[in-house]
Amino acid sequence: MLVLPAVAGLAFLVLPLAGLLIRAPWATLPQRLAEPQVLEALRLSLVCATAATVVCVLCGVPLAWLLARVEFPGRRVVRALVTVPLVLPPVVGGVALLLVLGRRGLVGQWLESAFGITLPFTTLGVIVAEAFVAMPFLVISVEGALRAADRRFEEAAATLGASRWTVFRRVTLPLIMPGVVAGAVLCWARALGEFGATITFAGNFPGTTRTMPLAVYLALETDPDAAIVLSLVLLAVSVVVLASLRDRWVNSP
């Protein structure tokens, strides 16, 4: 009785991807990938996603450690707040970023008056928007790795006189490195595919804020074949990410 709905669910998930592959202009694919606007959007996407991932790692790993290892009042509330971007509509996230980091925002007006820094509608704004929506993936992965790590190694290092920073750098971090790598890969893939928060907070300016997802949306209105080509690039990235994490999910019991 469960076979029919299972097959229907599988078809629902697979057929759109198959349609993308079938309708792809394979004959002109190399030429389209070499077009300047495609290369520019790809370059900007790679740079911004990588920079956002670096920001997420630098801020997310300490945050995950805090949630996993430190008891403090309101920890559950903080954990819930960290995961809000996972379920928050990206457009709403972009509006929230504008209200805080915009030129008249709570923090943005101070950044502009004191340091002359303007985030909205800039490449830096793209990085901020992507980091905002992607960081929860890293935090959840690293926190899970921290909770699963054997703390006896850390306790042994502390007993031998190692400082807290040395224990974290030489013992804890190597133990949780698979979780950090998995979280960083997920974070990078999520940042690469971000659309809603980016277009709301950073806009859609060629060479400055037009990343691959925004280029797909724009090309769909004027050149559907170009939109398919750009979509194939993002699909290939998704497949590579899934393949790199196959030991964590695909082959799990």
Residue range 126-165, pLDDT digits in tens: 999 999 999 999 999 999 899 888 888 888 888 888 888 8
- Please give the average per-residue pLDDT across 27-39, as a whole number: 83
Residue 250 has pLDDT above 50, yes or no: no
Tell me the mean pLDDT in the region 9-19: 89
**Per-residue pLDDT tens digits for 56-87:** 999 999 999 999 888 888 888 999 999 999 88
| pLDDT tens digit sequence for 213-231 | 998 888 888 888 888 888 8
Quote the pLDDT of residue 247. Answer: 59
CA distance 16 to 207: 30
Give the model's pLDDT for residue 113: 85
**pLDDT in the model for residue 248:** 55
pLDDT, residue 47, reads 93
Across the range 82-110, mean pLDDT stands at 90
Show the 3-state SS of the chain: CCHHHHHHHHHHHHHHHHHHHHCCCHHHHHHHHCCHHHHHHHHHHHHHHHHHHHHHHHHHHHHHHHHHHCCCCCHHHHHHHHHHHHHCCHHHHHHHHHHHHCCCCCCHHHHHHHHCCCCCCCHHHHHHHHHHHHHHHHHHHHHHHHHHCCCHHHHHHHHCCCCHHHHHHHHHHHHHHHHHHHHHHHHHHHHHCCCHHHHHHCCCCCCCCCCHHHHHHHHHHHCHHHHHHHHHHHHHHHHHHHHHCCCCCCCCC
At 251, the pLDDT band (50, 70, 90 cuts) reads: very low
pLDDT of 11? 92
Higher pLDDT, 129 or 39: 129
Residue 235: pLDDT band with limits 50, 70, 90: confident
Label residue 27 by pLDDT band (50, 70, 90): confident
